[in-house]
Structure 1
Amino acid sequence: MNDFQYLMSTKVLYGKDIIIKEAELFKKFGKKAFIVTGKSSSKKNGSLNDVVNALKKNNIEYCIFDNVEENPSLEMIDEAAQIGREENVDFIIGIGGGSPLDSSKGIGVLLKNKNANVEDLYNEPKLDSIPIIAVPTTAGTGSEVTPYAIFTNHKIKTKKNFMHRVFPKIAFLDAKYLMHTPYNVTVNTCVDALSHLVEGYLSSKANILSDAAAEKGMRLFGECIPYIKENNFTYEVRKKLLLISTLAGMVIAQSGTSLPHGMGYPLTYFHGIPHGKANGLLLKAYLEFCEDKKKVESILECIRMNNTDELGELLNEILGKENFVSEDEINEYTNSMINNKGKLKNHPYKVNREDIFKIYKESLM
C-alpha cells in the first residue's frame, strides 16, 4: 500500500433546511458577508432567501454580487473583488453551481491579499483567502469540498485551474435547492460528478481513502441510472445526486482530475459544450484506453454496467451523441493537451500524442 497524505478541511452539513437550522454558524466569520451568486437560479430555488434570512437572524450585514457568468472569466472575478473591497466584507457565501463557488475562491484570494491582481491567481506563491462558505445548488462540480477553482482565461483561450488551494470552511448541502433543476443541467452536472469519480479513482494520486469514497459515489450513481434515464428526479434521487457530487469532490480534492477534464476544456471554450457533457463524451474512449483493467472493471461493476459499450450507450442516450469537431481541430486540441503537464501527470502511465488524438477521434468523429 502506497504512502499518502489526506486533508479534507471543509465542514459538511447535509440535510433539509440545514442553513436555517445552523444559522448561528455564520456568526463566527464576521460582521459583513459578500454573497456571490448567479443572476436568477438562487432566487428561484430559495437558496438566496434562506441565506439572507440566516444572516438577518444573526444581525450580519451583507451585500450581493449576482452577476456570476457560466465559466467565469478573470475579468468578472476582478470586477467582483473590487466591489468586495469597497464594501469591506469579512467573508464570502458562494451560492449556486460550480461557477459561483469557484468564483468565490478567486474573489476571496484577491480580497485577502490587497496587493494581488487577477493574474496572481495563476502565480506562485500560494495565497490564502478570506473565509468561504459554499451552498451548492447543482450536483456536479463538488467545488464545495475541493480547494480548486477553474476560470476562463481569454488570453490563452481556455479554462485553467488557479494556483491556490482554498477549501470552503463550511458546505451546506440541501437537496431542496435542486428540485427544479432542468433535465439537461441535471444530466450534465451528474455526468461531471461521475467523471470526477472515475478520473480520481484512476489517478496516480489515488489512495485507499479516496478510492473508498469513489467506489461509494459510483455505487450511488449506479442506483440513480434508471431514474436519470426516465427523467424521474424525486427528492430522494436529488439527495443521492447531491451526495454523489460531494463525494466526487472529496475524491478529486485528493487525487485531482486527469485526461477527460483537460481534453474537455477546448470543447467548452470553442464549441460551447457544457463542462460535464464535454467530459462525458470522452469517458468511454478514456476507459478503453486506461491500462489498469482491474480498476476499470471495478468502475463498471460499481455503476452496474457490463462493459464500456453499455456505458457509451447510456452516455449517448442521456447526453446526446455529438459529431461536431473536424480533424484539424482535433489535431489542435491534441497539441494543447500533450503540453498540459498537470493533467498528464495524474494519469499513472505514459500518455503519447497518438493516445490523446485517438480518444478525441473515437469520441467525436
Structure 2
Amino acid sequence: MEMGFFAPRHMDIGGGAAARIAVLLGRFGLSRPLIVTDPVMVKLGLVRRITDPLEAAGIVCTIFSDTVPEPVDTVVEAGVAIARGGAFDCLIGFGGGSPIDTAKAINILLAAAPSARMRDFKVPVAADTAALPLIAVPTTAGTGSEATRFTVITDTETDEKMLIAGLGALPLAAVVDYELTMSVPPRTTADTGIDAFTHALEAYVSRRANPVSDAYARSAMRLIGANLRKVWQTPQDRDAREAMMLGATLAGLAFSNASVALVHGMSRPIGAHFHVPHGMSNAMLLPAVTRFSLNAALPRYAESARLAGFARADDADQLAGARLIEALEAINAELEVPTPQGFGVARADWDALLPKMAEQALASGSPGNNPAVPDAAEIVKIYEEIF
C-alpha cells in the first residue's frame, strides 16, 4: 500500500502547554508573531494565556482580532493587509476553528500575488504554499484544525463556503492545552464535540481511509464517545475535558489524512447560507447521513458504534449500526441540537436554496469520499429530511 501522511512538525500536548509557547517559538527561532484571534478571546482576557508568557520572554506581540465565527474572505484580506504591513516571522492562530482557519487562509493568501483572491485556492486547487510558519493554539475541543491541512472560508460574493486544502494550511506546530477549554460555553462544547466525533467517524468510513488514519480515528471515537456527554453534563470535569481535547486532535489527524465525507459536504452550504455554526450543522446532518450511508459500509459503522461505547462488543453488525444511529439521535436531543427550523430558518428560504446547496455540496468533493456516493436528488432528500 502506498500512502502519504501529514501532521504538524511539533505538538505540545497537555494541561499548561499554553504557558510554554515562548519555548516553542524559541525552538524554531521565531520571535515576531502576529496573533490571529477573535474579539471574545481578547474581551475575556483568554488571549493573555499566550501573550503573557510571550511578553515575559521579551517577545513583542501584535494581535489581529477581527475574525468572525464563520471565516470570510474579506476578513482574510484584512488580515493579509496587517501581515504585509509588519515584519512578522510567524503567525499564531489562537481560538476555536474560526481564528485558526482564518490564520491559515491569511498565510496562504499572503504568499500569493497581490491580485490573488481566496477563491483562487479552493478545491481542487492544491494550496501548498504559505508565507510564514504557523502555530495553532485551539481553545475548543472540536475542529481539529490545529492538526489539519484544510481551511474553510466563505466567499462573500457568492455565499459559497470554500474548502481549501494543501500543505499551505498545515501548521508547523500546535499547542494543545485542554485547560483553555474549561470555560467554553455549553453550546460551543456541544457543537465542537459533535464536530470532533463527525471528523473521526467520517475519516473511518471514508473511501480514502488508510491504516494510519484508522488508528487515529479509532482512538478518537473511543475518547469522544466516552466523554462527550460528560463535558456537557459536568463542564468542570478536567479528565473529560482533557480526553475530549486529545480526541479532537486525534480526529483532526485522522480526517486530515483520510478526508471527511458527506456530512461535511452538506454542512458547508448550510453554514454559508444560513449562518449555522459548523459543528451544529454537522450535528443536524449526522444521524440522517449515517442512516443513508449505513449499509454501504456496515462493518465500519458497526465497529464505530462499538468503539464509541454505543453498542456492545458482541452486537452483530446490523444491530450495532442501528444503535449508532439511535445514539447519534439521542446525543442531539440531550445536547439540544436544533433542526434548521428550530434554529430559525424559514421553510421557504430553505426550500428555495436546496438545489444550490446540493450543487455546492457536490462541488466540494467531500461527498465523493462517502461510502454511499449520492447524487443531487439524494442530497436534496436528506436536506428535506432534517429540516
Normalised by the length of structure 1, the TM-score is 0.91
C-alpha displacement at 1:243, in angstroms? 0.8
21-30 or 58-67, larger mean C-alpha shift: 21-30
In structure 2, the partner of 1:282 is 285
Aligned positions of 1:116-135 closer than 5 A? 117-119=116-118, 120-122=120-122, 126-135=128-137
Q: Contact between 2:189 and 2:232, CA under 8 Å: does it hold in 1?
A: no
Opposite residue 58 of structure 2, the aligned amino acid is: N
In structure 2, the partner of 1:149 is 151
Distance 1:222 1:31 in 2: 40
Deviation string for 1:25-79 (max 9, x for gaps)?
2133433110110002255263x22322332233323211111111111111111
| 1:57 matched to 2:75 | no
Opposite residue 66 of structure 1, the aligned amino acid is: S
Opposite residue 137 of structure 2, the aligned amino acid is: V
In structure 2, the partner of 1:250 is 253
Distance 2:57 2:360 in 1: 48
Q: Contact between 1:173 and 1:242, CA under 8 Å: does it hold in 2?
A: yes
Opposite residue 287 of structure 2, the aligned amino acid is: K
1:297 paired residue among 279, 302, 305: 302
Would you say how many aligned residue pairs link Structure 1 and Structure 2? 362
Mark the CA change 1:339 to 1:21 in structure 2 (over 3 Å): closer, same or farther: closer
Matched residues, percent identical? 27
In structure 2, the partner of 1:328 is 351
Q: Contact between 1:102 and 1:150, CA under 8 Å: does it hold in 2?
A: yes
In structure 1, the partner of 2:314 is none
Q: Contact between 1:45 and 1:180, CA under 8 Å: does it hold in 2?
A: no
- RMSD, matched Cα: 2.2
Deviation string for 1:177-223 (max 9, x for gaps)?
11111100110011111111111111111011111111111111121
Q: Contact between 2:133 and 2:171, CA under 8 Å: does it hold in 1?
A: yes
Deviation string for 1:203-247 (max 9, x for gaps)?
111011111111111111121144145244412111111111101
Mark the CA change 1:31 to 1:330 in structure 2 (over 3 Å): closer, same or farther: closer
C-alpha displacement at 1:172, in angstroms? 0.7
Three-state SS of the structure 2 residue aligned to 1:285 is: helix
Mark the CA change 1:314 to 1:333 in structure 2 (over 3 Å): closer, same or farther: farther
Distance 1:310 1:53 in 2: 43
Normalised by the length of structure 2, the TM-score is 0.87
In structure 1, the partner of 2:344 is none
**Structure 1 unaligned regions, length at least 5:** none
Mark the CA change 1:229 to 1:52 in structure 2 (over 3 Å): closer, same or farther: closer
225-234 or 279-288, larger mean C-alpha shift: 225-234
1:227 paired residue among 210, 230, 234: 230
Q: Contact between 2:193 and 2:228, CA under 8 Å: does it hold in 1?
A: no
Q: Contact between 1:135 and 1:172, CA under 8 Å: does it hold in 2?
A: yes
Mark the CA change 1:232 to 1:49 in structure 2 (over 3 Å): closer, same or farther: closer
Three-state SS of the structure 2 residue aligned to 1:95 is: strand
2:384 paired residue among 341, 361, 364: 361
Q: Contact between 2:195 and 2:283, CA under 8 Å: does it hold in 1?
A: yes
| 1:40 matched to 2:57 | no
Mark the CA change 1:342 to 1:323 in structure 2 (over 3 Å): closer, same or farther: closer
Opposite residue 328 of structure 1, the aligned amino acid is: D
